[in-house]
């Protein structure tokens, strides 16, 4: 393939020192995701400080519903990543071109459909989630405005997945920094200056997401390589769509069910009142930063596995997984430990109410020390997905995470109605999935190293025929 003007941002993951390339690839990606969360945290800090705990609880009550709506598209974006990475590793320009334009079509049309659906169903779902009446109206308003901007969110994530598939994690970082900075400034303007409350937070988010989507579109359009996006060529190619859906849809369904289980947990949290919701919202925002510092290696594992699979360098697949798992654990202990040291002060930044802080500490004290389990689970899942195995890991996560958490809320939580008991469902589910999916990955990698053959097995073929 030819090198375009953005060639300096790209990385050949099939050659050179593996650990060094993982670090170089991951650091910008980690900073991008953490920046995104910090900017989201700034939203909550601003609304909590200038609009009060009621507004903070209103935005927090929507968080799991937002993730539920976006989950399928985030899963599909990982499918885009693998398809483009494989084409890049195999130096198949046609596959990359078809993949890029198919991804753009799915993002454009799917984002619009999902946005309209979100506007229509969000109020009813929030009511089903036991959202207190005193914050229901504000929460529904936030969701309607946010859903109007869903096409921008989806397009940015698909475009960033394309760039990361060719080793470019730097420009998505620059775009997120620019969009996040605009988001914070607009939040201060809309909420602090104009007093727009949750509507101001939602409007600022939509505008900043639109900026990020424009920047990634501009970059792809200016490319002179296979990833160049031409508006006139945006259409769905059957082969590319099947590959993206085969790899990404199981992850999307998995993410949606994952989010549904968290929505179920959120509905239980909502029964403790608005102060508990506000405290949980602040703690979840802090916890999410730790989660991103660990789960970023999920995306790294997908890209490295995909490229090396395309190049048939299976030994690098195994070593890449081990490096990603170790780095994920190290990130969890480092970031989680730092936040635990300053947990009370960090929660106080969101809201100074002692009751809100006390509720938040319950979550942080239990989940931060066990967050490394979530990181390992994600790296295993990313490696399996990069190898073309999506269906079996999806089933494991559906049962081990989603099913267990729903059953926990229905059967275990009522026995002892405390948030500590509720939060225990998280580390228990992570450990269970690690045990099962880790065994599966061990078997697959052992087969690869023993035979030196492609790991895409009959599961892939059967799944392709089924779709």
In a domain, 10, yes or no: no
In a domain, 8, yes or no: no
In a domain, 352, yes or no: yes
In a domain, 174, yes or no: yes
- Residue 291's alpha-carbon distances to 173, 216, 248, 334, 440, in angstroms, are 18, 25, 21, 12, 24
Q: What is the DSSP letter of 403?
A: I
Three-class DSSP category at 1: coil
What's the rounded Cα separation, in Å, for the pair 380 and 297?
Answer: 10
In a domain, 251, yes or no: yes
Alpha helix ranges (H) inside 342-409: 343-350, 354-367, 371-386, 391-397, 404-407
Mean pLDDT, rounded, for 106-131: 91
Nearby residues of 33 by Cβ (< 8 Å), 6 or more positions away: 292, 296
- Mean pLDDT is highest, among 28-42, 69-83, 209-223, for 209-223
Mean pLDDT, rounded, for 261-289: 90
Tell me what pLDDT residue 342 has.
94
Range of the domain at 416: 15-466
Tell me what pLDDT residue 152 has.
95
- The least confident of 134-138, 224-228, 241-245 is 224-228
Residue 301 pLDDT exceeds 90: no
Question: What percent of the chain shows pLDDT beyond 70?
Answer: 91
Tell me if 185 sits within 8 A of 242, measured CB to CB. Answer: no
Mean pLDDT, rounded, for 250-258: 77
- The least confident of 101-105, 249-253, 379-383 is 249-253
Question: What percent of the chain shows pLDDT beyond 90?
Answer: 40
Higher-confidence residue: 6 or 219? 219
Dihedral sign for Cα atoms in the order 193, 196, 200, 203: negative
Tell me if 259 sits within 8 A of 71, measured CB to CB. Answer: yes
* Total domains in the fold of the chain: 1
Per the prediction, the chain carries an average pLDDT of: 84
Task: pLDDT band for 8, please (50, 70, 90 cuts).
Answer: low
Residue 190, token pair as written in the block: 């809309």
In a domain, 3, yes or no: no
Residue 129 pLDDT exceeds 70: yes
* pLDDT tens string 389-420: 878 888 888 888 888 999 999 999 999 999 99
Tell me what pLDDT residue 200 has.
93
Tell me if 324 sits within 8 A of 22, measured CB to CB. Answer: yes
What is the number of alpha carbons within 13 Å of residue 299 lying toward its C-beta? 33
In a domain, 7, yes or no: no
* pLDDT tens string 47-75: 888 887 788 888 888 887 888 888 888 88
Task: pLDDT band for 246, please (50, 70, 90 cuts).
Answer: confident
Tell me what pLDDT residue 14 has.
56
Higher-confidence residue: 41 or 387? 387
Tell me what pLDDT residue 356 has.
92
- The least confident of 23-32, 82-91, 379-388 is 23-32
In a domain, 340, yes or no: yes
């Amino acid at each position: 393939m030819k090198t375009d003007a953005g060639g300096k941002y790209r990385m050949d993951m099939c050659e050179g020192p593996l650990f060094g390339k993982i670090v170089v690839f991951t650091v910008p990606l980690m900073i991008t995701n953490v920046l995104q969360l910090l900017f989201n945290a700034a939203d909550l800090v601003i609304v909590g400080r200038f609009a009060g705990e009621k507004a903070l609880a209103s935005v927090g009550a929507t968080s799991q519903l937002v993730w539920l709506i976006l989950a399928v598209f985030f899963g599909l974006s990982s499918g885009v990543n693998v398809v483009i990475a494989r084409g890049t590793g195999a130096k198949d320009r046609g596959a990359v071109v078809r993949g890029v334009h198919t991804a753009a079509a799915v993002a454009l049309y799917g984002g619009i459909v999902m946005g309209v659906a979100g506007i229509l169903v969000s109020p009813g779902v929030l009511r089903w989630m036991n959202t207190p009446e005193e914050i229901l109206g504000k929460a529904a308003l936030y969701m309607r405005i946010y859903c109007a901007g869903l096409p921008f969110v989806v397009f940015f994530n698909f475009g960033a997945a394309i760039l990361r598939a060719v080793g470019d994690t730097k420009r998505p970082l620059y775009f997120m920094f620019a969009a996040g900075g605009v988001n914070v400034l607009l939040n201060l303007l809309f909420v602090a200056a104009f007093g727009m409350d949750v509507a101001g937070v939602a409007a600022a988010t939509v505008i900043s997401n639109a900026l990020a989507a424009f920047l990634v579109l501009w970059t792809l359009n200016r490319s002179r390589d296979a990833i160049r996006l031409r508006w006139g060529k945006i259409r769905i190619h059957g082969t590319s769509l099947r590959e993206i859906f085969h790899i990404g849809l199981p992850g999307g369904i998995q993410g949606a069910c994952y989010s549904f289980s968290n929505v179920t947990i959120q509905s239980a949290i909502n029964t403790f009142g608005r102060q508990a919701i506000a405290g949980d919202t602040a703690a979840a925002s802090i916890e999410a930063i730790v989660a991103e510092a660990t789960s970023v290696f999920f995306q790294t594992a997908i890209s490295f596995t995909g490229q090396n699979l395309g190049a048939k360098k299976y030994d690098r697949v195994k070593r890449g997984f081990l490096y990603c798992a170790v780095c994920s654990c190290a990130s969890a202990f480092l970031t989680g430990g730092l936040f635990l040291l300053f947990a009370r002060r960090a929660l106080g930044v969101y809201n100074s109410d002692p009751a809100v802080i006390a509720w938040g500490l319950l979550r942080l004290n239990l989940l931060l020390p066990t967050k490394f389990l979530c990181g390992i689970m994600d790296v295993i899942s990313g490696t399996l997905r990069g190898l073309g195995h999506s269906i079996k890991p999806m089933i494991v996560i559906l049962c081990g995470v989603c099913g267990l958490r729903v059953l926990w809320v229905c059967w275990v939580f009522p026995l002892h109605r405390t948030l500590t008991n509720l939060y225990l469902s998280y580390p228990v589910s992570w450990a269970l999935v690690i045990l099962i999916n880790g065994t599966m990955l061990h078997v697959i990698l052992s087969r690869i190293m023993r035979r030196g053959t492609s790991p895409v097995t009959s599961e892939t073929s059967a799944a392709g025929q089924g779709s």
